Amino acid sequence: MINQLVFATNNSNKVAEVKKLLHNRFDIISLKDAGIQQDIPEPFDTLEENAAIKSTTIFKLTGQHCFSEDTGLFVAALQGQPGVKSARYAGEQASNEDNIEKLLQQLQAYTNRQAYFKTVISLILDGKQYLFDGICHGTILPAKKGTGGFGYDAVFMPDGSNKSFGEMTMDEKAQFSHRKKAVKKLVEFLDHLSTIPC
């Protein structure tokens, strides 16, 4: 059975969230834990390609089973922006606050505030790639609500809730989370593997 996976990220928030979603069923090793300090470029126009380049790079460096994820916020009124550039929407060195401020400014002239988060996970087992995705539809709020979460969580309210992700606990967020949906597919796939691929 597969017990350990390298998670190709240096984002401690994502590591904590994924570990929580996996209920400690797997030993998740971050890039820092694996002794890898480099940032991996995300040069492509799709989440799938960006997730794939991260996981394949880490597999080549470590030779270990690994996975990566790429997540984007797609806003209808902005023709899908910020999309794959969500983390760098306000610039390469932009903070979460910078990105949120730009998003709210861009949406000031629009009444349609529909959006969705999409996560794509790229899993590499012995050099072979498997993709899993998850989507959460919702609305962009006119102002931040809550101080929890990360990224755009404070301005995103998922359909079926009256709270933003920023107001939710991890358990509450997991009921709606795009990342949870992708992780669930990943776990279901791993559960069907009786042995590590040769």
Q: How many CB atoms lie within 10 A of CB 21?
A: 20
Q: At what angle do helices 12-22 and 178-191 cross, to 10 degrees?
A: 50
**β-pair type (4-7, 27-30):** parallel
Q: How far is Cα 44 from Cα 182, in angstroms, rounded to an integer?
A: 20
CB 87 within 8 Å of CB 70: no
Report which of 68, 51, 73 is spatially closest to residue 154, judged by C-alpha positions: 73
CB 120 within 8 Å of CB 47: yes
Catalytic residue set: 70
CB 170 within 8 Å of CB 191: no
